[in-house]
Structure 1
Amino acid sequence: MGRECVQFSNTQDYQMAHALATTDGKTAMMYAGETPWHGLGTKLDEPATSREAITAAGLDYNVELKPIYTGDGTLIPQRKAVVRDDSRDVLGVVGNSYQPVQNHQSFGFLDSIVADGQLRYHTAGALGKGEKIWMLAKLPGEIRIKDSEDVTEQFLLLSNSHDGSSALRVFFTPIRVVCANTLGLAERRGRGQGVSVVHKGDLAAKVGEAQKILGLAAKFYDSVEERINHLANHYPSREQLTVYFERLYPDSPDSKNKRAENVRSELFRLFEEGRGQDIPETKLTTWAAFNAVTEFVDHHRTTRGKTDRDRASSRLESAWFGSGAALKARAWDEALDLAV
């Protein structure tokens, strides 16, 4: 055809995967410090600069837009394929108005948020064949609950897709240090947790708004600190806890299915014995009940996969972006209702 293109025998030839990507046989992920709960990726001794993180996480590739032809050579109008420039893998099919945001631009977006250029990345990686990427960077400051050893650090989690499935998004992501749980504290109805940049229009102008995120993050974390301390001063009864966990995991209409009952039993165990639940100032509080849910999602929830790696990567994807993240957001809302 005289030029590089993508030829599909069927427009459904492309299907997205959710496992962690591999680059040159290595898991496309980096992390700094202690090995995380999922045990995957390239270990770095210290949090990384954007350049270091891109290389260690296998994100040093660009994407290109290519025309699509059917098997008989007919051009498919109004559609283009998103192709990796190194592996030539097709990452997705998008419309003509789609504008890619390269991985280095995503890192640059976060780098520009902190004026002194000292933002450091604790983890980064890619899913599937590289169609979805993320990076996690720590902001200055922390939330110390009731002046105790229970500390929550303030992070920004950026995710971006190369398949048209989602915008570039920056989430404000608190992480409880004692258990490394990602808390997923969305404001009610999803408002106030972050910002999105759609892959259309003047992307440069939108990226130029990055520094406004720092002010939004400060407001978000001020609100979160107040609410966490409120939860940490509320001591629910056993009956209230039962209702709380039942709202999150109600019984199945099938009376023979004991899964929800078993999950609730595990949540009660984590409420009393989970990581960080022995801190005197927050023990047996509604804050502890919420963290029983986050620990369950991040560390214990059953996931699908043929290998340990597949199961671990599925758990990560769910906990940060999928059904696990949604469950944690519901648990946060229900905890706030419980502590009224």
Structure 2
Amino acid sequence: MSIDVNVAFAAEKTAQINATRERERAFQARVDRGEIRLIGGDRYEVLTGWDRGEVFTVTYDAQGQIEQILANHGLDSRADGTIALYASSPAWHGLGQIIPGGTTDIDEVLRLSGLDFEVTTVPARYEWEGELREHADQRHTVRTDTGAALGAVGRRYTPIQNRQGFEFLQELVGQYDVVWESAGLVRGGKRVFVSIRLPEAVTVDAGGLNDIVVPYVAVMNDHSGNGQFQCVVTPWRPVCANTERFAVRDAVTRWAVRHTKGAVDEIKEARRTLGLSVRYFEAFAAEETVLARTDIAVREFRQVISELWPLDDDASDRALTNHATRLGALDEGFRRETERVGQTAYAAERAITDYLDHVAPRRPGKTMTEEIARATALLEGADDDIKTKAHQKLMLLRR
């Protein structure tokens, strides 16, 4: 059987062109549907789904056609060059090691996410007049697989190994028939995290709005000496991936321990924190339902904003500009949420949370992108206080 190479080449080229055009049509369709938006240059922001707030860059070839889509994820890489991330479902950028539906095996999670390394401490040494000296009260944390330095710590600091810190969740995974949702590392392994999804979701305003809140447990470990081992119980809304930890009465939403010799035994106390999570989410859903049934006026929303971010009478021009920019972003967020859930205190709370999580300016560190700085601040609860104040002020408006 003979093959006309010219015909074969033409067919292959036509298929490539059609595939490229289809990719561009699909990309433009996402823009038209409001799923992504251009934010400057060739950078786009995801507006919907689990990955809302993430930013990516589109590059084009000489013909102006899409060449590749580059995720600005800010995550580390594993030794083989792949992204240090495990997830039970793929993100929009398709990066990381994905097991559809998740896994219950902690060792597999650690391996796929790049968390299968240990940390040790070594003496802190310095050179003085040609002599190598040792700092008796200070040590350095280093990875045992690469020797990479992670931070400076005191001599009593005892590393909490990744597996030691996370394996207490394995009991929940087996007991409640849940899976590991995600795991990864940032800043070269200075910060690592895992999460699981609790088995029962709660509903805000059942029979009315019916907004589903999915409860998660996220655990973060710090190897740099600048943070604690933390366990956070958080309601994570699938529609926009916001986390909120409000001061619901008697709620236990965060637990932390310092890196000391007895820390591993103390981590068992986290089970008590998780045992209270059901009661927490019931209280959370009740208060959010109150907000969902409280209509408010725009002026009331702006009054709350003015109390959260007060403006001095003698504010500088820069402060006035920043205030106007913030108010514009919050007004737009309130309008958008109002279209979804009505002009309620619940919409106001969503707008404030969304602004803090995805819009408010963040100054990333030297080794972080702005996106990963936002994710880190969100997990660490950097804005918990202002979110709590917003929740409390909006609760006062209930009718």
Q: TM-score range by the shorter chain?
A: 0.7 to 0.9
The structure number with the bigger radius of gyration is: 2
Give, as a single letter, the amino acid of the residue that structure 1 aligns with 2:111.
T
Q: How far apart, in 2, do the equivalents of 1:23 and 1:329 lie?
A: 37
Is 2:295 the partner of 1:239? no
Give, as a single letter, the amino acid of the residue that structure 1 aligns with 2:114.
G
Q: How far apart, in 2, do the equivalents of 1:316 and 1:42 lie?
A: 19
Whose RCO is larger (CA < 8 A, sep 6+)?
A: 1
Cα deviation for residue 173 of structure 1 reads 0.7
Residue in structure 1 matched with residue 334 of structure 2 by the alignment = 271
Is 2:197 the partner of 1:171? no
> Do the aligned partners of residues 301 and 225 (structure 1) sit closer, same or farther apart at CA in structure 2, a change above 3 Å counting?
same
Cα deviation for residue 170 of structure 1 reads 0.8
Cα deviation for residue 326 of structure 1 reads 4.8
> What does residue range 180-329 of structure 1 map to in structure 2 within 5 Å?
180-187=241-248, 192-251=252-311, 253-256=315-318, 257-274=320-337, 277-279=338-340, 282-304=341-363, 310-321=369-380, 323-329=382-388
> Do the aligned partners of residues 186 and 137 (structure 1) sit closer, same or farther apart at CA in structure 2, a change above 3 Å counting?
farther
Is 2:159 the partner of 1:159? no
Q: How far apart, in 2, do the equivalents of 1:42 and 1:112 lie?
A: 23
Q: How far apart, in 2, do the equivalents of 1:26 and 1:329 lie?
A: 38
Q: How far apart, in 2, do the equivalents of 1:312 and 1:272 lie?
A: 24
Q: Which runs of 5+ in 2 are unaligned?
A: 1-73
Q: How far apart, in 1, do the equivalents of 2:85 and 2:311 lie?
A: 37
> Do the aligned partners of residues 29 and 331 (structure 1) sit closer, same or farther apart at CA in structure 2, a change above 3 Å counting?
farther
Q: Normalising to structure 1: TM-score of the pair?
A: 0.82
The answer as to whether partners of 2:212 and 2:237 remain within 8 angstroms in 1 is yes
Give, as a single letter, the amino acid of the residue that structure 2 aligns with 1:254.
S
Q: Deviations over 1:53-100 (max 9, x none)?
A: 222221111101112221232121122211101121111121222221
1:122 to 178, 181, 184: 181
Is 2:122 the partner of 1:62? no
Question: What's the RMSD between the two structures over aligned residues?
Answer: 2.9
Give, as a single letter, the amino acid of the residue that structure 2 aligns with 1:251.
L
The answer as to whether partners of 2:217 and 2:234 remain within 8 angstroms in 1 is yes
> Do the aligned partners of residues 78 and 191 (structure 1) sit closer, same or farther apart at CA in structure 2, a change above 3 Å counting?
farther
Q: Per the alignment, in what secondary structure is the counterpart of residue 123 of structure 1? A: strand
The answer as to whether partners of 2:182 and 2:195 remain within 8 angstroms in 1 is yes
The answer as to whether partners of 1:112 and 1:210 remain within 8 angstroms in 2 is no
Q: How far apart, in 1, do the equivalents of 2:261 and 2:276 lie?
A: 23
Q: How far apart, in 1, do the equivalents of 2:108 and 2:390 lie?
A: 36
Q: How far apart, in 2, do the equivalents of 1:185 and 1:34 lie?
A: 29
Percentage of identical aligned residues: 24
Give, as a single letter, the amino acid of the residue that structure 2 aligns with 1:241.
F
| Count of residue correspondences | 316
Q: How far apart, in 2, do the equivalents of 1:291 and 1:142 lie?
A: 18
Q: Normalising to structure 2: TM-score of the pair?
A: 0.71
Q: How far apart, in 2, do the equivalents of 1:131 and 1:168 lie?
A: 12
Q: Per the alignment, in what secondary structure is the counterpart of residue 178 of structure 1? A: coil
